Structure 1
Amino acid sequence: MTAMHLDFEQALRKSDAYGKRHLLLGNGFSIACKPDIFAYGSLFEEAKKTMSRELAAIFAAMGTQDFEEVIRALQHAATIVGVYRPSFLKTQKLLLDDADKLKTDLIQAVASRHPARPNDISDERYTACRSFLSNFVGDGVSGKIYTMNYDLLLYWALMHEEDDVLARIDLTHDDGFRKDQNDYDAPYVEWQGEGAAHGQNIHYLHGALHLFDAGYQLQKYTWINTGKALVDQANEALKKNLFPVFVAEGDSRSKLTKIQHSAYLHHNYKSFAGVCQTKSRGGTALFVYGHSFASNDAHILNMIGYGKIAHLFVSLYGDPSSKANLAIRNNVEKIVRLRPKYFPELKVDFFDAVSAKVWG
């Protein structure tokens, strides 16, 4: 694999040769904005710090890092104990208390690792981010954005409009959510995948912390509709037994299992698969920003290798020959080798992450 190390503008110019240009975001997108709070392993590892020994053991015994799965298991166990051993009131209470404790652990982990409100980030930083995003979903650009992050930074940046009309950066974005036709004044909007899927160009591949499973519908809690901080919204939703839809699992197979059991996540997954498999007129370029190409996201990344993407542009942070960047190059090489011989060659270039000035 021969690949050049470019700055972002050079990479963009090179990608102009293709008919389509899409973007895939990893955790580096969030770290570039708030390195002090987003440079951590996983939400589960963060929550585990305040978790009781019993709760940690239950996660291990069930072989999962899915909060919802364990919370529901505790609630169901309390109901079952009540049937088999009605006198075991203390056990029932302990199970339900632990389910509530786990909700609190989740909220505290989110609160400690996420800005509370959109205005915690400056207008200048949003403008820089929107300028970056405009290369993929801007005026006259028909790309798609996929993110493996479940924080709100992408959502906030997309929704932030500049006060100065002359300096305004127009973005064309649609995440498939619309007003609830049965409750137009609701503090949320609902995903209308069946009716709005065609125009959707923003895809949260691993869910997000503002998306809640209400059973019969997927609800997106919006800052505009409520004015409430993320942690307060999440707290209220969990009290109603609504769970955020996001993939907390650590390995690729477990992540894919979660994706396959959610209509929303599976729709986003299929959309990315479609982008990878479709040979568009003029070819397709894919930019990957802020991802190490580690194997725990192989369920997403391998599709690039198996598909028909013509040119892959991958960000590197810092010295291209650093140990971390050499590992990324090696991981990308593995993706390249997946390409079937009867498909077009997968070209690769690396670009300097800092030069993209994603957050200014």
Structure 2
Amino acid sequence: MAEVEVVSFETAIRKIDGVKRRHLLLGNGFSIALKPDIFTYGSLYENADFSAVPHVPALFEALKTQDFEIVIRHLQDAATVVEVYRPKLTKLAASLRRDAAAIKDALVAAVARRHPDRPYDIKPAQYAACRSFLARFDHMFTLNYDVLLYWTLMQDEVDDLNLRPDDGFRHPEDDPDQPYVSWQQANSPTVYYLHGALHLFDRGTEITKYTWSKTDIPIVDQIRKALDEDRYPLFVAEGTSASKRARILHNAYLHKALRSFEECCRPTGNALVIFGHSLAENDNHVLRCIAGGRMEHVLISLYGNPSSPANQEAITNAKALVRLREKRHGGRFPLSVTFYDAESVRLWG
């Protein structure tokens, strides 16, 4: 068992007081910290609609998991194996891939169905606590699909922080009366949704974002209406890092987001704080940016007992990043990792 020192967040953040820029990477723990009854995989699984693929719950049970991405990965891997060992069974391979796609759709629908309905379902004091945390960082990157980060950044009335976040979306230049805003690559965003989000849609010719201000219709209602019409948001839920990366590289917004994260990891004077992410292998396309950069410090949250299986996995993965950094740069630009107690952040107050 790997033993590490776990310090408070304030102790950890003091270690990077002298850096030029501090950036933030958010995982699902960001949302779970506010609504554990909604955003854990177990809760999403219990509320997922598998009616289009009624045999799929048995697959979750057989694999002894409620993690959608694990099941998706197994289906994609099985399809690949079938194509090699039984190339004539093209229908079976296609069926496995369809099931994987159906599970991805069920995941995003479950997130939308369980999502808080309105921004005011979250208390002003909770927003204020979260914003005081976010205010410490120059760029914010999230791997989550929900709109909690977006809502929080929009709640200017709860404090005097003047965060001024920019996600790169603007009124369409050729048609400003459209009921959405569109991503414009020439901007310099400070907020990125690395795996897409419920309120982002790929229209083929442009990436758009739903907003309340353009329609007077709550964002979550717009998202649910789109899903009812079989229009799915931009989201990456493939089962492996390689398949996620392939999906990202075929979308201009997602590709730009990943490159921006890579650029933030490059300078020696930068530091990264990771909150609510296990450094799981299926997100290696993101984590490799840390190993490949020259950034000196990474602060990683651990929730609960450091000896728990989930935390041991995160610790092991963090140490692997340190070794990979050393290998890539021949011992130059070593990576310093500090583990901090997630609960000490008091993220939502």
Answer yes or no: same fold by TM over 0.5.
Answer: yes
Q: Residues 329 and 294 (structure 1 numbering): CA distance in 2 closer, same or farther, change over 3 Å?
A: same
Partner of 2:156: 161
* Separation in 2, partners of 1:211, 1:42: 23
Residue 223 (str. 1) matches residue 242 (str. 2):
no
**For 2:13 and 2:224, how far apart are their aligned partners in 1?**
42
Q: Which of the residues 191, 194, 197 maps onto 2:183?
A: 191
For the residues of structure 1 that align with 2:240 and 2:105, how far apart are their CA atoms? Answer: 24
Task: Assess, with a 3 A threshold, how the Cα gap between structure 1 residues 44 and 305 changes in structure 2: closer, same or farther.
Answer: farther
Ranges in structure 1 where 5+ consecutive residues have no aligned partner: 65-100, 137-142
1:62-101 equivalence runs, <5 A? 63=76
Matched with 1:78 is none
> Which residue number corresponds to residue 336 of structure 2?
347
Tell me, yes or no, if structure 1 residue 303 matches structure 2 residue 295.
no
Structure 1 window deviating more from structure 2 (228-237 vs 327-336): it is 228-237
**Equivalent-residue separation in structure 2 for 1:6 and 1:202 (angstroms):** 27
In structure 1, the residue matched to 2:125 is 124
Residue 230 of structure 1 and its aligned partner are, at CA, apart by 3.9
Q: Which amino acid aligns with 2:237?
A: A
Distance in structure 2 (CA, Å) of the matches to 1:293 and 1:104: 24
> Could you tell me which residue of structure 1 aligns to residue 144 of structure 2?
149
Secondary structure of residue in 1 paired with 2:161 = coil
TM-score (norm 1): 0.77
Q: What is the DSSP-based 3-state SS (H/G/I as helix, E as strand, rest coil) of the residue aligned with 1:206? A: coil
1:295–1:55 Cα change, 3 Å:
closer
Q: RMSD between aligned alpha carbons?
A: 3.0
Give the match's secondary structure for 1:208. Answer: coil
Q: Which amino acid in 2 is paired with 1:309?
A: M
In structure 2, the CA distance between the partners of 1:63 and 1:321, relative to structure 1 (3 Å rule), is closer
Residues 284 and 243 of structure 1, relative CA distance in 2, 3 Å threshold: same
| Greater Rg over alpha carbons, structure | 1
Q: Compute the displacement of 1:252 (Å).
A: 1.1
C-alpha deviation, 1:61, in angstroms: 11
TM-score w.r.t. structure 2 length? 0.80
Structure 2 distance, partners of 1:299, 1:276, is 13
Residue pairs, 1:1-360, within 5 angstroms: 4-40=5-41, 47=48, 49-53=50-54, 63=76, 108-136=109-137, 143-163=138-158, 167-193=159-185, 195-196=186-187, 199-238=188-227, 242-279=231-268, 283-339=269-325, 340-360=329-349
How many residue pairs get matched?
A: 309
Deviation at residue 264 of structure 1 after TM alignment: 0.3
Secondary structure (helix, strand or coil) at the match of 2:198 reads: strand
8 Å Cα contact 1:314-1:350 kept in structure 2:
yes
Three-state SS of the structure 2 residue aligned to 1:225 is coil
Query: Is the CA contact 2:211–2:219 (under 8 Å) kept in the aligned structure 1?
Result: no
Equivalent pair of 1:214/1:242 in contact (CA under 8 Å):
no
Alpha-carbon offset, residue 309 of structure 1:
1.4
In structure 2, relative to structure 1, the CA distance for the partners of 1:46 and 1:298 (3 Å cut) is farther
Q: Secondary structure at the match of 2:256?
A: helix
Work out whether residues 132 and 358 of structure 1, in 8 Å CA contact, stay in contact via their aligned partners in 2.
yes
